[in-house]
């Protein structure tokens, strides 16, 4: 692919990563004359998640916490979305740091993601895949935006029935799912917020208690023994009653706590953007297996 020009306009610069259902490249758009991310999905599947993602994003005007998408393209063998290139996701950032993130950064992440979720929910869209690898940032000279991306598993009334059917049969990774979602196999708007709490815990501590647990049942059992009070620093306990609070109240409370923080913007930007801490060793996760459960691979959604 590096030698060809996809859709007659993109020069592939490098492979960035693989998604669960697509490949992601850094490319130069010869029409707009700028570097972009090109997310490519081969044709031949019935779910059409990539076009679904493009539709979801275009339900919104510009918002600082949404990734910019420039266009949808397809030819006889593949389809693609071009979009802006963001800085690292939270999952990658935490692997570069030995210390905890500044609390002002944590509250800002919560505030900005809750703000965009309010917009999703207000028009009947559920994101459906809140996790650290789907939250990145956009850096400016003296500020940053927290950006929620990857809308392929989002859901709304009236969507393509092939997308709905595919999602219903998908074995979604349970690491950030709420207990209710694991029980019902349905993702509702409150699950977006519950999964945000697991995401914040993972970003703050660098792990979740069920890391390495290899089946959904094992993860569920461990979650049952793990309260949000134990998973979140005390400064974020105001989020725990999310089920009984309107999202607007959570957002207002975030702003109140944010205003009380001793904020050092340079420390937040350092945490997000500086090179990996010198001498930091990779985290080793102990794998926990359930001998009575077969490992499921087909149609499995990654973390």
pLDDT tens for each residue of 174-187: 999 999 999 999 99
- 3-class state of residue 205 by DSSP: helix
The verdict on 256 and 128 lying in the same domain is yes
Task: Identify the pLDDT of residue 69.
Answer: 98
254 lies in the same domain as 129: yes
Task: With a cut of 90, say whether residue 17 has pLDDT above it.
Answer: no
* Residues 94, 63 share a domain: no
Are 176 and 67 within one domain? Answer: no
The reported pTM is 0.93
* Closest by CA position to 50, among listed 20, 80, 9: 80
Tell me: do 62 and 37 sit in the same domain. Answer: yes
Report if residue 299 sits inside a domain.
no
Six-digit token string for 121: 């929910």
Mean pLDDT of the chain: 93
Same domain, residue pair 101 and 231: yes
CATH code of the domain containing 78: 3.30.200.20
Mean pLDDT, rounded, for 158-167:
94
The predicted pLDDT at position 225 comes to: 97
- Number of domains the chain is built from: 2
Residues 233 and 200 in one domain: yes
Any domain includes 39: yes
Q: Are residues 103 and 196 located together in one domain of the fold? A: yes
Residue pair 72/80 in contact by the 8 Å Cβ criterion = yes
Residues 20 and 146 in one domain: no
In a domain, 136, yes or no: yes
Strand-pairing partners, residue 35, are 28
Residue 138: inside a domain? yes
DSSP assignment, residue 73? E
Q: Which domain holds residue 216?
A: 90-273
Does 15 share its domain with 116? Answer: no
Write down the pLDDT at residue 291.
74
Q: Which of 83, 113, 130 is the last residue of a domain?
A: 83
Give the other-Cβ count within 10 Å of 188's Cβ.
Answer: 15
User: Who contacts 223 (Cβ-Cβ below 8 Å, separation ≥6)?
Assistant: 179, 182, 210
| Burial track 19-44 (b if 16+ CB lie within 10 A, e otherwise) | bbbbbbbebbbeeeeeebbbbbbeee
Which residue among 48, 83, 118 closes a domain?
83
Buried b (16+ CB within 10 A) or exposed e, 56-92: bbeeeeebebbbbbbebbeeeebbbbbbebbebbbbe
**Per-residue model confidence (pLDDT) at position 298:** 47
- Is the pLDDT confidence value at 247 over 60? yes
Each residue's pLDDT tens digit, 105-117: 999 999 999 999 9
102 and 210 fall within a common domain: yes
Instruction: Assess if residue 289 is contained within a domain.
Output: no
Neighbours of 247 (CB within 10 A): 19
Residue 250 lies in a domain: yes
Q: Are residues 54 and 200 in the same domain?
A: no
Residue 75 pLDDT: 92
């Amino acid at each position: 692919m590096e030698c060809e020009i996809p859709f007659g306009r993109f020069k592939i610069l490098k492979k960035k990563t693989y998604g669960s259902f697509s490949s992601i490249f850094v490319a130069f758009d010869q029409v707009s004359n700028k570097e972009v991310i090109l997310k490519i999905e081969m044709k031949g599947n019935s779910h059409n998640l990539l076009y679904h993602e493009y539709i979801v994003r275009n339900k919104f005007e510009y918002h600082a916490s949404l990734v910019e998408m420039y266009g949808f393209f397809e030819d006889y063998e593949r389809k693609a979305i071009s979009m802006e290139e963001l800085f690292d996701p939270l999952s990658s950032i935490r692997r570069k740091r030995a210390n905890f993130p500044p609390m002002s950064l944590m509250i800002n992440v919560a505030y900005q993601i809750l703000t965009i979720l309010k917009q999703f929910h207000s028009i009947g869209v559920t994101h459906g895949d809140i996790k650290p690898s789907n939250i990145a940032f956009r850096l400016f000279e003296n500020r940053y935006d927290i950006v929620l991306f990857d809308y392929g598993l989002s859901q709304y009334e009236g969507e393509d029935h092939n997308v709905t059917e595919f999602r219903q049969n998908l074995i979604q990774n349970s690491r950030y799912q709420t207990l209710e979602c694991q029980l019902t196999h349905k993702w509702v708007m409150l699950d977006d917020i519950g999964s945000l709490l697991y995401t914040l815990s993972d970003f703050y501590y660098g792990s979740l208690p069920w890391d390495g647990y290899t089946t959904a049942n094992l993860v569920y059992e461990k979650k049952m023994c793990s309260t949000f009070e134990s998973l979140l620093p005390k400064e974020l306990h105001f989020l725990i009653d999310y089920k009984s609070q309107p999202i607007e109240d959570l957002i207002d409370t975030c702003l109140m706590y944010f205003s009380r923080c001793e904020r050092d913007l340079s420390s937040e930007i350092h945490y997000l953007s500086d090179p990996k801490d010198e001498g930091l060793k990779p985290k080793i996760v102990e794998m926990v297996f359930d001998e009575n459960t077969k490992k499921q691979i087909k149609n499995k959604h990654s973390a």
